[in-house]
Amino acid sequence: MADLSVSFIGLKLRNPIIVASSGLTSTKEGVRRAAEAGAGAIVLKSLFEEQLRAEIAPIAGETESHPEAEAFLAGMGFSEGEDEYVALVKAAKATTDVPIIASLNCSGDSLWPELASRVAAAGADAIELNLGVVPMDPATPAAAIEDRLVALVESVASRARVPVCSKIGASYTNVGNLASRLAKAGSRGLTLFNRFYRMDVDLESMSLAAGPTRSSPEAYHESLRWIAALEGRVGAELCASGGVYDGATALRLVAAGAQAVQMCSAIYARGYSAVTGAVDEMGAWLDAHGVARLSDLRGRLARRNSDAPELYGRLHYVKALTGQA
C-alpha cells in the first residue's frame, strides 16, 4: 500500500487526516476512538477564552464565537478552566501515541501565553490557535483587526515551545497577506478555514436561533482555492478544514498543496468509520494510480507549480459565466 505518512508543522503523522477540535475530542474515550479509527493526529476540544474569564453574557449577546460555543452555552464546560484542560491534555497523551494538538479559542491576548506554556508542558505536541474574532463594530478598521491577530500569535508562539498553527476565517481583504504575517509572527501552520457561529431567525417566536453547525461535503471548495493559491508562498504549511467527508476530497486538497486535512462533520454523520474509510480510500487511489507516496502528490496542482497561474484567479469564474470552455 502507498505510504500515506506526512509531516505537518514538525509532527510526523501516519496519514494526513486530523480529527478536528469538537465534542468528539473532549474526552479520553473520544481520543482513543479517533486514534483507533486511524487518525493521523487529534485536535482536542477548544478551551474558550470566555470559559477562563467566566463571562457568559458577552457570548449570549453577541456572535463573537466558534460553533462549539453552542455546546458551551448549553452547559458543557462551565466549570472548566486551565487545570481541567491541562488534565485533558495529559489524559490524551497517556491514551495514544498519535500526536495531540491542544486548541485555544481566543480573541484577546492576555491569557494565552501562560496557558500555552502550561499545555505544552503537559505534553501537547502542538497548539492550534483558533482565532475566533468576528468584528461587530463597523468603526474598527481591517488593519486593527489583523494587527490584533498577529500580536496574539506572536505572544503565544514566543512562549509555547511547541509548534503553533493558526486557524483563521476566510473573510479578510487579503488572506495571503495575513497568512504571511501570521507565519512571520511564529505560526508554523495555517488551517483554512474556521467556520464561525452561524445564526438564523425563528419567525414564529421572532427570535434568534442557531444556524447549521456542521459543514456540508461541498464546503471544501473555498479551502481548496486558497490552499492552491498560497501553497509555498506564505512561509507556513497549510491544513484544510471544512467539507472533508471522504478520501477523494482529502486527495484533492493534498494535490492543491495541503499538508494535512481536518475532519469533523463526517464523523458526526457516519461515526469514526469515516476516518478509516477516508484513509483506506486514499491508499487505494494512490495504489491504483501508481503513486508510491502521498508526498509525491502534494502540491501538483498548486498555483506556483502551474504553467497557467491565471486559472487560479478570475478566469474560471469568467468562463463559467460566459459558457466558454
Domain boundaries, the chain: 6-322
- HSE at residue 101, side-chain half, CA atoms within 13 A, is 31
Taking every pair of Cα atoms in the chain, the longest distance, rounded to a whole number of angstroms, is: 59
Half-sphere exposure of 241 (CA within 13 A, CB side): 27
The DSSP code sequence of 95-150 is H-SS-EEEEEEES-SSSHHHHHHHHHHTT-SEEEEEE------TTS-HHHHHHHHH
Say which range, 46-55, 57-66, 88-97, has the weakest mean pLDDT: 57-66
- What pLDDT digit, counting tens, does each position of 106-140 carry? 766 667 888 999 999 999 999 999 997 778 889 99
Mean pLDDT (whole number) for 133-150: 90
CA distance 248 to 254: 10
SS3 of 323, please? coil
Say yes or no to pLDDT of 79 above 50.
Answer: no
- Residue 219 and residue 258 in contact, taking contact as beta carbons nearer than 8 Å: no
Local confidence band at 48 (pLDDT 50, 70, 90 cut-offs): confident
- CATH code, 6-322: 3.20.20.70
* 3-class secondary-structure state, position 219: coil
Locate 18 and state its grid cell. 486530523
Place of cell 478552566: 81
Q: Report DSSP state, residue 184.
A: H
Quote the cell numbers at residue 114: 501562560
DSSP sequence for 230-261: HTTTSSSEEEEES---SHHHHHHHHHHT-SEE
Neighbours of 272 (CB within 10 A): 20
Q: Are 145 and 168 in contact (CB under 8 A)?
A: no
Look at 132 and 254; give whichever has higher pLDDT.
254
Q: pLDDT grade, residue 324 (50/70/90)?
A: low
**Cα 311 to Cα 325: distance, rounded to the nearest angstrom:** 12
The whole-chain average pLDDT of the chain stands at 88
- pLDDT band, very low/low/confident/very high, at 76 (cuts 50, 70, 90): very low
Phi, psi values for residue 68, rounded to 5°: -65, -15
